[in-house]
Structure 1
Amino acid sequence: MSTSDYLAANQANWDDRAPLHAARDGSGYGVARYLNDPAALSDVVTFDLPLLGDIAGLTAVHLQCHIGTDTISLARLGATVTGLDFSRESIAEARKLASEAGDAVEFVESDVHLALDALPPEAFDLVYTGIGALCWLPRVQDWAKVVAGLLAPGGTLHLREAHPILWAMDESVTTDLALRYPYFEHVEPLEWDDAETYVDTPTALTATKTYEWNHSLGEIVTALLETGLRVEALVEHQSVPWEALPGQMTLGDDGEWRLTDRAGVVPLSYTLRAVKPA
Protein backbone atom coordinates (compact mmCIF):
# COMPACT_ATOMS: atom_id res chain seq x y z
CA MET A 1 0.00 0.00 0.00
CA SER A 2 1.05 3.60 -0.56
CA THR A 3 0.99 6.43 1.95
CA SER A 4 -2.13 7.82 0.25
CA ASP A 5 -3.83 4.43 0.77
CA TYR A 6 -2.95 4.49 4.46
CA LEU A 7 -4.31 8.02 4.86
CA ALA A 8 -7.49 7.16 2.94
CA ALA A 9 -8.13 4.23 5.29
CA ASN A 10 -7.62 6.52 8.29
CA GLN A 11 -9.99 9.08 6.82
CA ALA A 12 -12.68 6.43 6.36
CA ASN A 13 -12.20 5.36 9.97
CA TRP A 14 -12.60 8.91 11.29
CA ASP A 15 -15.65 9.45 9.05
CA ASP A 16 -17.08 6.37 10.74
CA ARG A 17 -16.23 7.58 14.24
CA ALA A 18 -17.59 11.12 13.89
CA PRO A 19 -21.37 10.54 14.24
CA LEU A 20 -20.76 8.06 17.07
CA HIS A 21 -18.56 10.52 18.94
CA ALA A 22 -21.10 13.32 18.37
CA ALA A 23 -24.13 11.39 19.67
CA ARG A 24 -26.53 13.39 21.84
CA ASP A 25 -27.50 10.43 24.06
CA GLY A 26 -24.63 10.71 26.54
CA SER A 27 -22.35 8.27 24.73
CA GLY A 28 -19.31 9.25 22.67
CA TYR A 29 -17.93 12.64 23.67
CA GLY A 30 -20.99 13.58 25.74
CA VAL A 31 -21.55 16.65 23.57
CA ALA A 32 -24.87 17.57 25.19
CA ARG A 33 -22.94 19.45 27.89
CA TYR A 34 -21.79 22.00 25.31
CA LEU A 35 -25.42 22.57 24.37
CA ASN A 36 -26.68 22.74 27.95
CA ASP A 37 -23.91 24.97 29.33
CA PRO A 38 -22.59 27.83 27.15
CA ALA A 39 -19.51 28.08 29.39
CA ALA A 40 -18.60 24.37 29.30
CA LEU A 41 -15.05 23.53 28.24
CA SER A 42 -13.65 20.18 27.20
CA ASP A 43 -11.55 18.31 29.75
CA VAL A 44 -8.61 18.52 27.33
CA VAL A 45 -8.70 22.32 27.06
CA THR A 46 -9.33 22.63 30.80
CA PHE A 47 -6.14 20.64 31.42
CA ASP A 48 -4.30 22.93 28.98
CA LEU A 49 -5.32 26.18 30.65
CA PRO A 50 -2.27 26.71 32.91
CA LEU A 51 0.15 26.43 29.98
CA LEU A 52 -2.20 27.79 27.32
CA GLY A 53 -2.66 31.08 29.14
CA ASP A 54 -4.99 33.92 28.11
CA ILE A 55 -5.98 33.53 24.46
CA ALA A 56 -8.76 36.16 24.39
CA GLY A 57 -8.56 38.20 21.20
CA LEU A 58 -6.16 35.82 19.44
CA THR A 59 -6.72 34.35 15.99
CA ALA A 60 -6.31 30.60 16.33
CA VAL A 61 -6.40 27.48 14.19
CA HIS A 62 -7.02 24.03 15.63
CA LEU A 63 -5.39 21.41 13.42
CA GLN A 64 -6.99 17.93 13.27
CA CYS A 65 -10.00 19.21 15.19
CA HIS A 66 -12.30 16.16 14.78
CA ILE A 67 -15.88 17.05 15.90
CA GLY A 68 -14.81 20.39 17.35
CA THR A 69 -15.29 20.08 21.11
CA ASP A 70 -11.82 21.45 21.84
CA THR A 71 -12.22 24.01 19.03
CA ILE A 72 -15.43 25.32 20.54
CA SER A 73 -13.75 25.42 23.94
CA LEU A 74 -10.97 27.64 22.56
CA ALA A 75 -13.60 29.98 21.13
CA ARG A 76 -15.29 30.13 24.53
CA LEU A 77 -12.00 31.37 25.94
CA GLY A 78 -12.25 34.38 23.66
CA ALA A 79 -10.23 33.41 20.59
CA THR A 80 -11.39 33.65 16.99
CA VAL A 81 -10.98 30.03 15.99
CA THR A 82 -10.87 27.97 12.81
CA GLY A 83 -10.95 24.17 13.05
CA LEU A 84 -9.44 22.02 10.31
CA ASP A 85 -9.83 18.29 9.74
CA PHE A 86 -9.57 15.82 6.84
CA SER A 87 -12.75 13.95 7.79
CA ARG A 88 -15.84 15.27 6.02
CA GLU A 89 -18.13 13.68 8.60
CA SER A 90 -16.13 15.17 11.47
CA ILE A 91 -16.38 18.64 9.97
CA ALA A 92 -20.11 18.19 9.40
CA GLU A 93 -20.62 17.19 13.02
CA ALA A 94 -18.41 20.06 14.23
CA ARG A 95 -20.41 22.61 12.25
CA LYS A 96 -23.67 21.15 13.55
CA LEU A 97 -22.49 21.23 17.17
CA ALA A 98 -21.19 24.80 16.94
CA SER A 99 -24.42 25.96 15.29
CA GLU A 100 -26.62 24.30 17.90
CA ALA A 101 -24.47 25.63 20.74
CA GLY A 102 -24.36 29.14 19.31
CA ASP A 103 -20.57 29.33 19.07
CA ALA A 104 -19.01 31.30 16.22
CA VAL A 105 -16.38 28.87 14.91
CA GLU A 106 -15.32 28.28 11.31
CA PHE A 107 -14.56 24.73 10.20
CA VAL A 108 -12.56 23.80 7.11
CA GLU A 109 -12.31 20.36 5.53
CA SER A 110 -8.69 19.70 4.53
CA ASP A 111 -5.86 17.29 5.05
CA VAL A 112 -3.48 18.93 7.51
CA HIS A 113 -0.65 18.58 4.96
CA LEU A 114 -2.62 20.88 2.63
CA ALA A 115 -3.59 23.40 5.30
CA LEU A 116 -1.53 26.15 3.67
CA ASP A 117 -3.69 25.79 0.56
CA ALA A 118 -6.92 25.88 2.56
CA LEU A 119 -5.98 28.68 4.99
CA PRO A 120 -4.09 31.98 4.68
CA PRO A 121 -0.39 31.73 5.53
CA GLU A 122 1.07 33.56 8.53
CA ALA A 123 -2.44 34.50 9.67
CA PHE A 124 -2.69 32.88 13.09
CA ASP A 125 -1.52 34.00 16.52
CA LEU A 126 -2.02 30.46 17.83
CA VAL A 127 -1.75 27.02 16.26
CA TYR A 128 -3.34 24.48 18.58
CA THR A 129 -2.89 20.74 18.16
CA GLY A 130 -4.67 18.51 20.64
CA ILE A 131 -3.92 15.08 21.93
CA GLY A 132 -3.93 12.05 19.61
CA ALA A 133 -3.08 13.91 16.39
CA LEU A 134 0.55 13.36 15.39
CA CYS A 135 0.31 9.56 15.32
CA TRP A 136 -1.79 9.83 12.14
CA LEU A 137 0.94 11.68 10.23
CA PRO A 138 3.73 9.84 8.39
CA ARG A 139 6.42 12.55 8.69
CA VAL A 140 6.60 15.02 11.52
CA GLN A 141 8.81 17.35 9.46
CA ASP A 142 5.95 17.96 7.02
CA TRP A 143 3.61 18.85 9.88
CA ALA A 144 6.17 21.22 11.41
CA LYS A 145 6.48 23.12 8.11
CA VAL A 146 2.70 23.58 8.02
CA VAL A 147 2.69 24.90 11.60
CA ALA A 148 5.45 27.39 10.85
CA GLY A 149 3.71 28.47 7.66
CA LEU A 150 0.41 29.16 9.42
CA LEU A 151 1.87 31.10 12.34
CA ALA A 152 2.11 34.86 12.16
CA PRO A 153 5.45 36.31 13.32
CA GLY A 154 5.35 36.22 17.10
CA GLY A 155 2.68 33.50 17.04
CA THR A 156 2.68 30.42 19.24
CA LEU A 157 2.25 26.69 18.75
CA HIS A 158 0.54 24.89 21.64
CA LEU A 159 0.85 21.14 21.33
CA ARG A 160 -0.28 18.58 23.86
CA GLU A 161 0.24 15.01 22.75
CA ALA A 162 0.47 11.48 24.01
CA HIS A 163 4.10 10.76 24.81
CA PRO A 164 5.93 8.67 22.19
CA ILE A 165 7.03 6.30 24.95
CA LEU A 166 3.32 5.59 25.53
CA TRP A 167 2.74 4.91 21.83
CA ALA A 168 5.61 2.39 22.02
CA MET A 169 3.89 0.36 24.76
CA ASP A 170 1.88 -2.82 24.31
CA GLU A 171 -1.60 -2.07 25.67
CA SER A 172 -2.56 -5.75 25.50
CA VAL A 173 -0.26 -6.42 28.47
CA THR A 174 -2.44 -5.53 31.45
CA THR A 175 -0.15 -6.52 34.33
CA ASP A 176 2.97 -4.42 33.71
CA LEU A 177 4.49 -1.82 31.40
CA ALA A 178 5.82 -3.46 28.23
CA LEU A 179 7.67 -1.78 25.36
CA ARG A 180 6.90 -3.37 22.00
CA TYR A 181 6.49 -0.86 19.16
CA PRO A 182 8.90 1.65 17.55
CA TYR A 183 9.71 4.76 19.54
CA PHE A 184 11.33 6.47 16.56
CA GLU A 185 9.65 7.55 13.33
CA HIS A 186 9.31 4.62 10.96
CA VAL A 187 8.58 4.46 7.23
CA GLU A 188 5.98 1.71 7.36
CA PRO A 189 3.06 2.37 9.72
CA LEU A 190 1.69 0.10 12.40
CA GLU A 191 -1.52 -1.52 11.17
CA TRP A 192 -4.53 -1.91 13.46
CA ASP A 193 -7.89 -3.56 12.92
CA ASP A 194 -10.36 -2.59 15.64
CA ALA A 195 -14.13 -2.11 15.57
CA GLU A 196 -14.08 -0.12 18.82
CA THR A 197 -13.09 3.47 19.49
CA TYR A 198 -11.58 5.02 22.61
CA VAL A 199 -14.90 6.20 24.08
CA ASP A 200 -18.14 4.32 24.70
CA THR A 201 -20.34 4.10 21.59
CA PRO A 202 -23.56 2.12 21.03
CA THR A 203 -22.43 0.53 17.77
CA ALA A 204 -19.18 -0.78 16.32
CA LEU A 205 -17.14 0.81 13.57
CA THR A 206 -17.33 -0.55 10.03
CA ALA A 207 -14.14 1.04 8.66
CA THR A 208 -11.92 -0.77 11.14
CA LYS A 209 -8.40 -0.60 9.69
CA THR A 210 -6.09 2.24 10.69
CA TYR A 211 -2.41 3.04 10.21
CA GLU A 212 -0.23 4.97 12.68
CA TRP A 213 3.31 6.32 12.95
CA ASN A 214 5.23 7.17 16.10
CA HIS A 215 7.55 10.19 16.31
CA SER A 216 10.18 10.51 19.02
CA LEU A 217 10.27 13.57 21.24
CA GLY A 218 13.64 14.50 19.77
CA GLU A 219 12.32 14.22 16.22
CA ILE A 220 9.37 16.47 17.03
CA VAL A 221 11.51 19.14 18.72
CA THR A 222 14.14 19.01 15.97
CA ALA A 223 11.51 19.32 13.22
CA LEU A 224 10.12 22.48 14.83
CA LEU A 225 13.58 23.97 15.37
CA GLU A 226 14.47 23.34 11.73
CA THR A 227 11.52 25.51 10.65
CA GLY A 228 12.90 28.39 12.72
CA LEU A 229 10.49 28.11 15.64
CA ARG A 230 11.85 28.64 19.14
CA VAL A 231 10.81 26.07 21.74
CA GLU A 232 9.85 27.86 24.95
CA ALA A 233 8.45 25.03 27.06
CA LEU A 234 8.40 21.25 27.13
CA VAL A 235 6.52 19.74 30.06
CA GLU A 236 5.98 16.00 30.51
CA HIS A 237 2.84 14.80 32.30
CA GLN A 238 1.90 11.67 34.25
CA SER A 239 -1.61 11.54 32.79
CA VAL A 240 -3.45 11.14 29.50
CA PRO A 241 -7.15 11.76 28.71
CA TRP A 242 -8.12 8.16 27.82
CA GLU A 243 -7.48 4.73 29.28
CA ALA A 244 -4.38 4.09 27.20
CA LEU A 245 -3.24 1.07 29.22
CA PRO A 246 -6.36 -0.87 30.21
CA GLY A 247 -6.24 -2.48 33.61
CA GLN A 248 -3.34 -0.33 34.81
CA MET A 249 -4.90 3.13 35.10
CA THR A 250 -7.23 5.11 37.36
CA LEU A 251 -9.52 7.90 36.19
CA GLY A 252 -9.23 11.21 38.05
CA ASP A 253 -11.88 13.85 38.65
CA ASP A 254 -10.22 15.96 35.93
CA GLY A 255 -10.96 13.39 33.21
CA GLU A 256 -7.32 12.30 33.08
CA TRP A 257 -6.10 8.71 33.44
CA ARG A 258 -3.00 7.96 35.53
CA LEU A 259 -1.04 4.81 36.24
CA THR A 260 -2.40 3.11 39.34
CA ASP A 261 0.61 1.17 40.64
CA ARG A 262 3.50 2.48 38.53
CA ALA A 263 2.90 6.23 38.79
CA GLY A 264 5.97 8.26 37.87
CA VAL A 265 7.71 5.41 36.03
CA VAL A 266 7.08 6.83 32.56
CA PRO A 267 5.60 10.03 31.12
CA LEU A 268 2.22 9.58 29.46
CA SER A 269 1.79 12.90 27.65
CA TYR A 270 3.59 16.21 27.17
CA THR A 271 2.94 19.84 26.35
CA LEU A 272 5.21 21.73 23.97
CA ARG A 273 5.04 25.45 23.27
CA ALA A 274 7.06 27.05 20.48
CA VAL A 275 7.14 30.61 19.14
CA LYS A 276 7.76 31.95 15.65
CA PRO A 277 10.24 34.81 16.00
CA ALA A 278 8.80 38.22 15.21
Structure 2
Amino acid sequence: MNLEENKNKIETNKIAWGKIAQQHYEHFKMRLVKEDYKLNPIVEEELGDIAGKKILHLQCNTGADTILLAQKGAIVTGVDLVPENICYAKKLAKDFEVNNVNFVESDVLKLMEVHEGEYDIVMTTDGVLGWLPDLNKWGKVVAHFLKEEGFFYLHDGHPFMMIFDEDALSQGDLIPTYPYFDLTADIDGFIGGYASEAKEAENYFWGHQLSTIINGLLSGNLYVSYIKEYDRCAPGMSGSAVDEHGMSYYPELDGKIPLVLSLKAEKK
Protein backbone atom coordinates (compact mmCIF):
# COMPACT_ATOMS: atom_id res chain seq x y z
CA MET A 1 0.00 0.00 0.00
CA ASN A 2 1.50 3.33 -1.11
CA LEU A 3 0.87 5.58 1.90
CA GLU A 4 1.89 8.82 0.18
CA GLU A 5 -0.27 8.03 -2.85
CA ASN A 6 -3.26 7.25 -0.63
CA LYS A 7 -2.67 10.46 1.32
CA ASN A 8 -2.86 12.46 -1.91
CA LYS A 9 -6.05 10.68 -2.95
CA ILE A 10 -7.67 11.40 0.40
CA GLU A 11 -6.79 15.08 0.01
CA THR A 12 -8.30 15.02 -3.47
CA ASN A 13 -11.48 13.49 -2.05
CA LYS A 14 -11.62 16.17 0.64
CA ILE A 15 -11.58 18.88 -2.03
CA ALA A 16 -14.22 17.08 -4.09
CA TRP A 17 -16.66 16.66 -1.20
CA GLY A 18 -16.16 20.28 -0.21
CA LYS A 19 -17.59 21.37 -3.55
CA ILE A 20 -21.01 19.88 -2.74
CA ALA A 21 -21.16 20.54 1.01
CA GLN A 22 -23.40 23.61 0.75
CA GLN A 23 -25.90 21.83 -1.49
CA HIS A 24 -25.96 18.87 0.91
CA TYR A 25 -26.64 21.23 3.80
CA GLU A 26 -29.45 22.96 1.93
CA HIS A 27 -30.96 19.66 0.77
CA PHE A 28 -31.04 18.06 4.20
CA LYS A 29 -32.14 21.23 5.98
CA MET A 30 -35.13 21.51 3.66
CA ARG A 31 -36.05 17.87 4.24
CA LEU A 32 -35.62 18.13 8.00
CA VAL A 33 -37.86 21.21 8.05
CA LYS A 34 -40.50 19.27 6.13
CA GLU A 35 -39.94 16.27 8.44
CA ASP A 36 -39.63 13.96 5.45
CA TYR A 37 -36.04 12.92 6.19
CA LYS A 38 -35.74 10.10 8.70
CA LEU A 39 -33.08 7.69 9.85
CA ASN A 40 -32.69 4.63 7.66
CA PRO A 41 -35.35 2.31 9.20
CA ILE A 42 -32.98 -0.67 9.11
CA VAL A 43 -30.37 1.31 11.03
CA GLU A 44 -32.91 2.64 13.52
CA GLU A 45 -34.26 -0.83 14.29
CA GLU A 46 -30.83 -2.44 14.63
CA LEU A 47 -29.43 0.29 16.88
CA GLY A 48 -32.32 -0.08 19.30
CA ASP A 49 -32.97 2.41 22.09
CA ILE A 50 -30.14 4.95 22.03
CA ALA A 51 -31.47 7.47 24.56
CA GLY A 52 -28.66 8.51 26.87
CA LYS A 53 -26.00 6.65 24.87
CA LYS A 54 -22.73 8.27 23.82
CA ILE A 55 -22.33 7.74 20.07
CA LEU A 56 -19.35 8.37 17.80
CA HIS A 57 -20.70 8.80 14.26
CA LEU A 58 -17.89 8.35 11.74
CA GLN A 59 -18.06 9.93 8.26
CA CYS A 60 -21.09 12.03 9.16
CA ASN A 61 -21.11 14.26 6.05
CA THR A 62 -23.07 17.46 6.81
CA GLY A 63 -24.58 15.98 9.95
CA ALA A 64 -28.22 15.24 9.14
CA ASP A 65 -28.16 11.68 10.51
CA THR A 66 -26.01 12.80 13.45
CA ILE A 67 -28.70 15.30 14.38
CA LEU A 68 -31.47 12.70 14.03
CA LEU A 69 -29.55 10.43 16.40
CA ALA A 70 -29.23 13.30 18.88
CA GLN A 71 -32.95 14.04 18.61
CA LYS A 72 -33.56 10.50 19.82
CA GLY A 73 -31.76 11.32 23.03
CA ALA A 74 -28.20 10.22 22.28
CA ILE A 75 -25.12 12.34 22.98
CA VAL A 76 -23.46 12.32 19.59
CA THR A 77 -20.08 13.28 18.17
CA GLY A 78 -19.94 13.41 14.38
CA VAL A 79 -16.64 13.07 12.53
CA ASP A 80 -15.89 14.00 8.93
CA LEU A 81 -12.83 14.59 6.78
CA VAL A 82 -14.18 17.65 5.00
CA PRO A 83 -13.97 21.07 6.72
CA GLU A 84 -16.94 22.39 4.76
CA ASN A 85 -19.03 19.41 5.90
CA ILE A 86 -18.19 20.09 9.54
CA CYS A 87 -18.96 23.79 9.13
CA TYR A 88 -22.39 23.03 7.71
CA ALA A 89 -23.03 20.24 10.22
CA LYS A 90 -22.53 22.73 13.06
CA LYS A 91 -24.80 25.19 11.28
CA LEU A 92 -27.47 22.51 10.81
CA ALA A 93 -27.38 21.65 14.52
CA LYS A 94 -27.75 25.34 15.38
CA ASP A 95 -30.63 25.70 12.91
CA PHE A 96 -32.58 23.00 14.76
CA GLU A 97 -31.36 23.95 18.25
CA VAL A 98 -29.82 20.53 18.85
CA ASN A 99 -27.32 20.94 21.68
CA ASN A 100 -26.41 17.32 22.51
CA VAL A 101 -24.20 17.00 19.44
CA ASN A 102 -20.73 18.16 18.44
CA PHE A 103 -18.56 17.71 15.37
CA VAL A 104 -14.89 16.95 14.78
CA GLU A 105 -13.00 17.59 11.54
CA SER A 106 -10.64 14.67 10.95
CA ASP A 107 -9.61 11.90 8.64
CA VAL A 108 -11.16 8.88 10.39
CA LEU A 109 -7.86 7.02 10.11
CA LYS A 110 -6.12 9.83 12.04
CA LEU A 111 -8.85 10.43 14.60
CA MET A 112 -6.78 9.11 17.53
CA GLU A 113 -4.35 12.00 16.95
CA VAL A 114 -6.95 14.73 17.48
CA HIS A 115 -9.78 13.33 19.61
CA GLU A 116 -10.23 11.59 22.94
CA GLY A 117 -13.15 9.75 24.52
CA GLU A 118 -14.95 6.45 24.93
CA TYR A 119 -18.34 5.68 23.44
CA ASP A 120 -21.19 3.25 23.97
CA ILE A 121 -21.66 3.01 20.22
CA VAL A 122 -19.28 3.72 17.36
CA MET A 123 -21.12 3.67 14.04
CA THR A 124 -20.85 4.45 10.35
CA THR A 125 -23.54 4.11 7.69
CA ASP A 126 -24.57 4.46 4.07
CA GLY A 127 -21.77 4.89 1.53
CA VAL A 128 -18.75 5.07 3.80
CA LEU A 129 -16.11 2.33 3.54
CA GLY A 130 -15.14 3.02 -0.07
CA TRP A 131 -13.64 6.35 0.99
CA LEU A 132 -11.16 4.59 3.29
CA PRO A 133 -8.01 2.95 1.88
CA ASP A 134 -6.97 0.98 4.98
CA LEU A 135 -9.56 -1.04 6.90
CA ASN A 136 -6.99 -2.59 9.23
CA LYS A 137 -6.17 0.85 10.59
CA TRP A 138 -9.88 1.66 10.59
CA GLY A 139 -10.60 -1.35 12.81
CA LYS A 140 -8.02 -0.17 15.33
CA VAL A 141 -9.57 3.32 15.39
CA VAL A 142 -13.03 1.86 16.00
CA ALA A 143 -11.77 -0.28 18.88
CA HIS A 144 -9.82 2.61 20.42
CA PHE A 145 -12.95 4.71 20.95
CA LEU A 146 -15.26 1.89 22.02
CA LYS A 147 -16.12 1.24 25.66
CA GLU A 148 -15.48 -2.29 26.87
CA GLU A 149 -19.22 -3.01 26.98
CA GLY A 150 -20.04 -0.98 23.86
CA PHE A 151 -20.57 -2.05 20.26
CA PHE A 152 -19.66 -0.99 16.74
CA TYR A 153 -22.36 -0.79 14.08
CA LEU A 154 -21.87 -0.72 10.30
CA HIS A 155 -24.51 -0.42 7.60
CA ASP A 156 -23.11 0.00 4.09
CA GLY A 157 -23.20 -1.15 0.50
CA HIS A 158 -22.66 -4.88 0.04
CA PRO A 159 -19.18 -5.57 -1.44
CA PHE A 160 -20.75 -8.03 -3.89
CA MET A 161 -22.85 -5.25 -5.41
CA MET A 162 -19.87 -3.00 -6.01
CA ILE A 163 -18.66 -5.11 -8.93
CA PHE A 164 -21.71 -4.57 -11.15
CA ASP A 165 -22.50 -1.88 -13.72
CA GLU A 166 -25.21 0.22 -12.05
CA ASP A 167 -26.99 1.22 -15.27
CA ALA A 168 -27.32 -2.44 -16.23
CA LEU A 169 -28.71 -3.29 -12.80
CA SER A 170 -31.64 -0.98 -13.49
CA GLN A 171 -32.51 -3.24 -16.43
CA GLY A 172 -32.18 -6.37 -14.35
CA ASP A 173 -28.80 -7.30 -15.86
CA LEU A 174 -25.79 -8.37 -13.81
CA ILE A 175 -22.70 -7.22 -15.70
CA PRO A 176 -19.47 -7.52 -13.66
CA THR A 177 -17.47 -4.36 -14.36
CA TYR A 178 -15.27 -3.74 -11.34
CA PRO A 179 -12.96 -6.56 -10.13
CA TYR A 180 -13.89 -7.82 -6.68
CA PHE A 181 -10.30 -8.74 -5.80
CA ASP A 182 -8.69 -5.47 -6.91
CA LEU A 183 -8.35 -3.19 -3.88
CA THR A 184 -6.85 -0.25 -5.78
CA ALA A 185 -8.85 2.95 -5.89
CA ASP A 186 -11.25 3.59 -8.77
CA ILE A 187 -11.11 7.14 -10.14
CA ASP A 188 -14.21 9.17 -11.01
CA GLY A 189 -14.50 12.62 -12.55
CA PHE A 190 -17.75 13.66 -10.84
CA ILE A 191 -18.97 13.85 -7.23
CA GLY A 192 -22.51 14.03 -5.84
CA GLY A 193 -25.81 13.37 -7.55
CA TYR A 194 -28.02 12.12 -4.70
CA ALA A 195 -28.37 15.23 -2.51
CA SER A 196 -26.74 17.73 -4.85
CA GLU A 197 -26.01 18.28 -8.49
CA ALA A 198 -23.20 16.10 -9.79
CA LYS A 199 -20.15 18.35 -10.02
CA GLU A 200 -16.94 17.85 -11.90
CA ALA A 201 -14.32 16.85 -9.35
CA GLU A 202 -11.71 14.12 -9.35
CA ASN A 203 -12.28 11.57 -6.57
CA TYR A 204 -11.20 8.07 -5.59
CA PHE A 205 -13.19 5.14 -4.21
CA TRP A 206 -11.66 1.96 -2.82
CA GLY A 207 -13.35 -1.40 -3.31
CA HIS A 208 -13.29 -3.76 -0.34
CA GLN A 209 -13.97 -7.46 -0.08
CA LEU A 210 -16.20 -8.78 2.69
CA SER A 211 -13.12 -10.46 4.14
CA THR A 212 -11.30 -7.11 4.18
CA ILE A 213 -14.07 -5.62 6.32
CA ILE A 214 -14.12 -8.53 8.76
CA ASN A 215 -10.33 -8.72 8.98
CA GLY A 216 -10.18 -4.97 9.56
CA LEU A 217 -12.34 -5.35 12.65
CA LEU A 218 -10.31 -8.35 13.78
CA SER A 219 -7.21 -6.17 13.60
CA GLY A 220 -8.80 -4.10 16.37
CA ASN A 221 -9.55 -7.25 18.40
CA LEU A 222 -13.25 -6.90 17.70
CA TYR A 223 -15.48 -9.88 17.05
CA VAL A 224 -18.51 -9.77 14.80
CA SER A 225 -21.68 -10.77 16.63
CA TYR A 226 -23.89 -10.67 13.52
CA ILE A 227 -23.99 -9.92 9.81
CA LYS A 228 -27.26 -9.24 8.01
CA GLU A 229 -27.93 -8.69 4.30
CA TYR A 230 -30.77 -6.79 2.65
CA ASP A 231 -32.22 -6.28 -0.82
CA ARG A 232 -33.32 -2.74 0.13
CA CYS A 233 -31.19 0.32 0.82
CA ALA A 234 -31.48 4.02 1.56
CA PRO A 235 -32.33 6.10 -1.53
CA GLY A 236 -29.17 7.48 -3.11
CA MET A 237 -27.09 4.41 -2.33
CA SER A 238 -28.40 2.14 -5.07
CA GLY A 239 -31.64 0.96 -6.66
CA SER A 240 -33.89 2.29 -9.40
CA ALA A 241 -37.25 2.44 -7.58
CA VAL A 242 -38.60 3.17 -4.10
CA ASP A 243 -40.93 0.85 -2.22
CA GLU A 244 -43.86 1.74 0.06
CA HIS A 245 -41.49 2.10 3.01
CA GLY A 246 -39.27 4.63 1.24
CA MET A 247 -36.46 2.14 0.61
CA SER A 248 -34.69 1.80 -2.73
CA TYR A 249 -34.41 -1.43 -4.73
CA TYR A 250 -34.19 -2.90 -8.24
CA PRO A 251 -37.64 -4.22 -9.28
CA GLU A 252 -36.18 -6.60 -11.86
CA LEU A 253 -33.92 -8.13 -9.22
CA ASP A 254 -36.26 -7.93 -6.24
CA GLY A 255 -35.29 -10.46 -3.58
CA LYS A 256 -32.47 -11.89 -5.72
CA ILE A 257 -29.36 -9.92 -4.76
CA PRO A 258 -28.04 -8.15 -1.64
CA LEU A 259 -27.70 -4.38 -1.85
CA VAL A 260 -26.44 -3.65 1.66
CA LEU A 261 -25.16 -5.37 4.75
CA SER A 262 -25.26 -4.60 8.44
CA LEU A 263 -22.92 -5.89 11.09
CA LYS A 264 -22.40 -5.48 14.79
CA ALA A 265 -19.02 -5.98 16.45
CA GLU A 266 -17.88 -5.96 20.07
CA LYS A 267 -14.63 -6.12 21.98
CA LYS A 268 -13.24 -9.59 22.67
TM-score scaled by length of structure 2: 0.91
Task: Give the 3 Å change call, closer, same or farther, for CA 245–116 of structure 1 in structure 2.
Answer: closer
**What are the Cα deviations for residues 67-92 of structure 1, in whole angstroms up to 9, with x where unaligned?**
00110111111110000101011001
Tell me the CA shift for residue 226 of structure 1.
3.1
Q: Is the 8 A contact 2:228 2:262 kept in 1?
A: yes
Letter in 2 for 1:226: S
Q: Is the 8 A contact 2:229 2:259 kept in 1?
A: yes
The answer to whether 1:261 aligns with 2:258 is: no
Aligned residue for 1:127?
Answer: 122
Q: Mean alpha-carbon deviation: is it higher for 222-231 or for 98-107? A: 222-231
Overall identity of the aligned pairs, in % = 32
- From 161, 183, 188, the counterpart of 2:180: 183
Partner of 1:180, secondary structure, is coil
The answer to whether 1:219 aligns with 2:212 is: yes
The answer to whether 1:13 aligns with 2:16 is: yes
Task: Give the 3 Å change call, closer, same or farther, for CA 88–243 of structure 1 in structure 2.
Answer: closer
Tell me the CA shift for residue 245 of structure 1.
5.5
- From 57, 62, 70, the counterpart of 1:62: 57
**What are the Cα deviations for residues 164-208 of structure 1, in whole angstroms up to 9, with x where unaligned?**
11111112435312111122351x3111112x523253x5524x1
CA distance in 2, matches of 1:209, 1:180: 20
Partner of 1:107, secondary structure, is strand
Equivalent pairs, count: 262
Aligned residue for 1:205?
Answer: 199
Task: Give the 3 Å change call, closer, same or farther, for CA 147–245 of structure 1 in structure 2.
Answer: closer
Q: Is the 8 A contact 2:129 2:156 kept in 1?
A: yes
Letter in 1 for 2:174: L
Letter in 2 for 1:73: L
Aligned residue for 1:97?
Answer: 92
CA distance in 1, matches of 2:54, 2:195: 33
Q: Is the 8 A contact 1:43 1:255 kept in 2?
A: no
Task: Give the 3 Å change call, closer, same or farther, for CA 242–182 of structure 1 in structure 2.
Answer: farther
Letter in 2 for 1:161: D
Task: Give the 3 Å change call, closer, same or farther, for CA 134–204 of structure 1 in structure 2.
Answer: closer
Letter in 2 for 1:205: K
Aligned residue for 1:142?
Answer: 137
Structure 1 stretches of at least 4 aligned residues deviating more than 4 Å after TM superposition:
243-246
Q: Is the 8 A contact 2:238 2:249 kept in 1?
A: no
Q: Is the 8 A contact 1:35 1:100 kept in 2?
A: no
Letter in 2 for 1:119: H
TM-score scaled by length of structure 1: 0.88
Aligned residue for 2:7?
Answer: 4
CA distance in 1, matches of 2:194, 2:106: 25
Q: Is the 8 A contact 2:238 2:248 kept in 1?
A: no
The answer to whether 1:111 aligns with 2:83 is: no
CA distance in 2, matches of 1:254, 1:170: 26
CA distance in 2, matches of 1:2, 1:225: 25
Tell me the CA shift for residue 62 of structure 1.
0.4
> For structure 2, which runs of at least 5 residues remain unmatched after alignment?
none
CA distance in 2, matches of 1:259, 1:84: 32
Task: Give the 3 Å change call, closer, same or farther, for CA 221–200 of structure 1 in structure 2.
Answer: closer
CA distance in 2, matches of 1:96, 1:78: 19
CA distance in 1, matches of 2:124, 2:24: 19
Partner of 2:19, secondary structure, is helix
Task: Give the 3 Å change call, closer, same or farther, for CA 263–204 of structure 1 in structure 2.
Answer: closer
